[in-house]
Amino acid sequence: MARTWNKSEIVEVVAKETGLTKVAAGEAVDTILNTITKALQARERVQLTGFGTFETRERKARTGRNPQSGAAMYIPATTVPAFKAGKALKDVVKG
């Protein structure tokens, strides 16, 4: 199974790579994540060329099934965050 990174590990890498303190690197990571979150909340897209695009998508209302009872249930329409990887990221992951 692939390794799972957490936020504190990313902060450590940012601090090491940039020479920032861990506190400053943590603030930088938090600022980036908060900016993306606020943009998505406002239904705006965030496009990082070569990396990918964060956006929201609308899901229509639909009928689903309760997995425990099998009974039909109504699932209301909702807005969900989505990420589409850019070509450069896809190429790096592909190898």
Q: How crowded is residue 25: how many other Cβ atoms within 10 Å of its Cβ?
A: 20
In eight-state DSSP terms, residue 52 is E
Q: For 69-87, how does the pLDDT look when each residue is reduced to its tens digit (9 = 90+)?
A: 999 999 999 999 999 999 9
Q: In the prediction, which pLDDT does 41 show?
A: 98
Q: Over 90: is that where the pLDDT of 30 sits?
A: yes
Cβ-based neighbours of 36, under 8 Å, separated by 6 or more: 46, 54
Residue 61: which residues within 8 A CB-CB, separation 6 or more? 74, 75, 76, 77
CB atoms under 10 Å from CB of 5, counted, come to: 9
Position 70 scores a pLDDT of: 93
On the question of pLDDT at 2 being above 90, the answer is: no
| pTM as predicted | 0.84
